[in-house]
Structure 1
Amino acid sequence: MADDKIILGWREWVGLPALELEQIRAKLDTGARSSSLHVEQSEEYVEAGVLWVRFAIDPVAKRDRTRTWFAAPILDKREVTDSGGNRTLRPFIKTPICIAGQTYEIEINLTNRREMLFPMLLGRTALVPRIMVDPALSYTLGNFDPEAMA
């Protein structure tokens, strides 16, 4: 039922607090199953028998413009088909997302999205069952707020 869902536009500002990104532009894509985040670099390693990924967030997405490194256990590695039909094996992590006043965990894969207009893509699994997308709308949650990144 649509009554209990939040209606958002095809692009919105969202937050990834565990990755120190209070605001990042995201394309809400119901045609994509999984969500993706642009990272500058990544490397996998094993710690205490668990596979982890160390990755650098794009400094353009951060106010201080410094490359920040993060690490997270790899939840899974899955083959992802991009919009051009190319398949790649990508690491998936879990992280909280803040969107429309709600915070909840989502799975995202880490990849180089440098050539894309949006550093983040939110797929169906991050939207269901909370959010409906109206493709006629855009930035329904408001515009970029530089003060939020202070």
Structure 2
Amino acid sequence: MNRIAVAVLAGLAVMSTAQAETYGRTERVRVLGSSSIEVIGRLDPAAKGSSLRAINVKYFNRDGGTWVRFTIDNGSVLPGSRVTLERPMLKDVKLKQRDGGVEHRPEVAITLCIGRTILETTLTVSDRTGYTAPLTIGDDDVRKLGAVDPAREYTIEPSCPAQAKVEPEPHDMPEPAPTR
């Protein structure tokens, strides 16, 4: 009889672990760099790729390549609500618009902390002010994370291990505090 009780309890433990690792459709995500910032991310298995809403997107040349400087704004009124990052542009992604035009978005490499998972990914950066979530995590990255329950939100706080912390990059800069 004790074996049955142990088996049932072990099964419940596995179920609760699996439940804890199921992400919601919307999660808090930490963008890692020398200055990290937390943003709201939408895990969207229907999206082809991942994208990040940024402001002040500027292209410049460094070391013979094209780089992108952009500011992430998480919408908070507290200090630290903006971070400016610089990344080498990996490629120019062209997106067809409904009106027939083409939008160019730079693709960059970035490291994210989602729950207890460090996700090194590439994503496009653009001013997506019409979107509610600043970060969309697309199909390829969602598959790396695991199960997503669209009925749930904010299931796992970003808490990546300290040893996984990204080393400061010489080109990441905190956004200057606004003058009042």
Shorter-chain TM range is 0.7 to 0.9
Aligned amino acid, residue 56 of structure 2: Q
Alpha-carbon distance between aligned partners in 2 of 1:88 and 1:96, rounded to the nearest angstrom:
24
Structure 1 residues 53 and 111 mapped into 2: Cα distance closer, same or farther (>3 Å)? same
Q: Are 2:117 and 1:102 equivalent residues in the alignment?
A: yes
Match of 2:33, SS state, is helix
Aligned to 1:24: 39
Aligned amino acid, residue 36 of structure 1: S
Is the 2:23–2:147 Cα contact (8 Å) retained in structure 1? Answer: yes
Q: Are 2:117 and 1:127 equivalent residues in the alignment?
A: no
Greater C-alpha Rg: 2
Aligned to 1:60: 75
Structure whose residues are more often strand by fraction: 1
Structure whose residues are more often helix by fraction: 2
Q: Name whichever of 101-110 and 52-61 sits farther off.
A: 52-61
Is the 2:115–2:157 Cα contact (8 Å) retained in structure 1? Answer: no
Structure 2: gaps spanning 5 or more residues: 1-17, 159-180
Aligned to 2:48: 33
How many residue pairs get aligned? The number is 139
**Aligned match of 2:108 in 66, 90, 93?**
93
Q: Are 2:60 and 1:48 equivalent residues in the alignment?
A: no
Structure 1: gaps spanning 5 or more residues: 144-150
Alpha-carbon distance between aligned partners in 1 of 2:100 and 2:30, rounded to the nearest angstrom:
29
Structure 1 residues 66 and 28 mapped into 2: Cα distance closer, same or farther (>3 Å)? closer
**Aligned match of 1:139 in 139, 151, 154?**
154
Match of 1:10, SS state, is strand
Aligned amino acid, residue 13 of structure 1: R
Higher relative contact order, structure no. (Cα contacts within 8 Å, ≥ 6 residues apart): 1
Aligned-pair distance for 1:32? 0.5
Structure 1 residues 126 and 11 mapped into 2: Cα distance closer, same or farther (>3 Å)? same
**Aligned match of 2:88 in 73, 78, 85?**
73
* Cα offsets for 1:77-126 (capped at 9, x unmatched): 11235799975221011111101201120111111121211111111122
Is the 2:37–2:82 Cα contact (8 Å) retained in structure 1? Answer: no
